[in-house]
């Protein structure tokens, strides 16, 4: 099990370097976040041993149980890990998230952000957060419309125990990589527009969480700084039935 995980990671890192070189970017600007939903603590440990430190979870309870399992298995390594919540966040789960996670990618309303800020323990660093942008415009999807992003960014930036870092998006897969790149580029442009506001002059937003196993190339070309990759690292997910 761990051998394929290590070699998958090495392969993806080679791909990131190649794709960055193609568009004149430094691969050090693009973080590889391992999406470990449905993967057990041993699988996460294999990715840690291959050098990764950031892990993305969709479900709060699963994530917290995994953090605790890793802390029991390998306390020294576990202390170095950064946990990102990348799935939707319901307001009745904000306290657990504020207490355990390091990042939240899916902020799409002020109320959730306010609760996270109020519930973040004083002894922890600010929670790093991203606003989720719904760039497809499908009403059924989570995330805010691009036109709402600046107002929400200004309000979230003012919260004391959060640190707004940037934007996240997850457009539906497209056959056409150019179309996919155009969707990612819209999100990048939203970030650039937010950064033009004087409130962001001192600390511009610097994170674009865009791109998964199937769209690394268009995401990197559009300026992604954080790829959320599950399947290409851990293989097909087996959902419990
Ligand atoms: C599952 C998931 C991913 C990873 O998708 P893969 O196609 O397995 O790389 C990335 N982002 C989010 C929000 C996800 O839910």
CA 155, distance to chain mean position in Å, is 21
- CA-nearest residue, atom 7 of ligand 1: 213
> What local confidence, expressed as pLDDT, does residue 47 receive?
97
Q: In the predicted model, is pLDDT for residue 74 greater than 80?
A: yes
> What local confidence, expressed as pLDDT, does residue 68 receive?
97
Report residue 221 as tokens.
Answer: 């070309």
Report residues whose beta carbon is within 6 angstroms of any ligand 1 atom: 35, 37, 58, 86-87, 170, 212-214, 228-232
The CATH code for residues 2-233 is: 3.20.20.10
Measure 116 CA to ligand 1 centroid, in angstroms: 23
How do residues 95-123 score in pLDDT, each as one tens digit?
A: 999 999 999 999 999 999 999 999 999 99
**Model confidence at 141, in pLDDT bands (50, 70, 90)?**
confident
Measure 196 CA to ligand 1 centroid, in angstroms: 30
**Model confidence at 49, in pLDDT bands (50, 70, 90)?**
very high
- CA-nearest residue, atom 13 of ligand 1: 86
Measure 85 CA to ligand 1 centroid, in angstroms: 11
CA gap 64, 83 in Å, rounded: 9
Measure 35 CA to ligand 1 centroid, in angstroms: 6
CA gap 199, 212 in Å, rounded: 31
Q: What percent of the chain has a predicted confidence (pLDDT) above 90?
A: 91
Q: Which of 9, 55, 56 to mutate to test the pocket of ligand 1 (most atoms within 8 A of CB)?
A: 56
Domain ranges, ordered by start, for the chain = 2-233
CA gap 178, 158 in Å, rounded: 36
3-state DSSP assignment of residue 103: strand
Q: pTM for this one?
A: 0.96
Measure 77 CA to ligand 1 centroid, in angstroms: 24
CA–CA distances in Å: residue 161 to residues 134, 167, 176 = 25, 18, 40
- The answer to whether residues 32 and 12 touch, using CB atoms and an 8 Å cutoff, is yes
Q: What is the number of the ligand 1 atom nearest to the C-alpha of 168?
A: 13
Q: Would you give the DSSP letter of residue 109?
A: S
Q: In the predicted model, is pLDDT for residue 240 greater than 70?
A: no
């Amino acid at each position: 099990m761990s051998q394929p995980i290590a070699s998958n990671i090495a392969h993806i890192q080679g791909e990131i370097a190649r794709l960055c070189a193609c568009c004149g970017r430094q691969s050090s600007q693009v973080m590889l976040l391992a999406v470990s939903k449905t993967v057990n603590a041993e699988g996460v440990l294999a990715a840690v041993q291959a050098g990764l430190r950031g892990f993305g979870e969709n479900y709060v309870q699963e994530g917290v149980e995994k953090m605790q399992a890793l802390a029991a298995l390998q306390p020294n390594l576990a202390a170095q890990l950064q946990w990102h919540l990348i799935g939707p966040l319901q307001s009745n789960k904000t306290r657990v998230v504020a207490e355990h996670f390091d990042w939240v990618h899916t902020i799409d309303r002020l109320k959730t952000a306010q609760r996270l800020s109020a519930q973040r323990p004083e002894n922890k660093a600010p929670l790093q957060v991203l606003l989720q942008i719904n760039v497809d415009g499908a009403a059924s999807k989570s995330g805010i419309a691009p036109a709402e992003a600046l107002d929400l960014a200004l309000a979230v930036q003012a919260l004391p125990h959060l640190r707004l870092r940037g934007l996240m998006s997850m457009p539906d897969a497209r056959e056409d990589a150019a179309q996919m790149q155009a969707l990612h580029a819209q999100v990048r442009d939203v970030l650039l527009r937010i950064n033009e506001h004087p409130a962001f002059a001192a600390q511009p937003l610097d994170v674009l969480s865009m791109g998964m196993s199937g769209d690394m190339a268009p995401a990197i070309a559009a300026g992604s700084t954080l790829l959320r990759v599950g399947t290409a690292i851990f293989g097909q997910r087996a959902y419990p039935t």
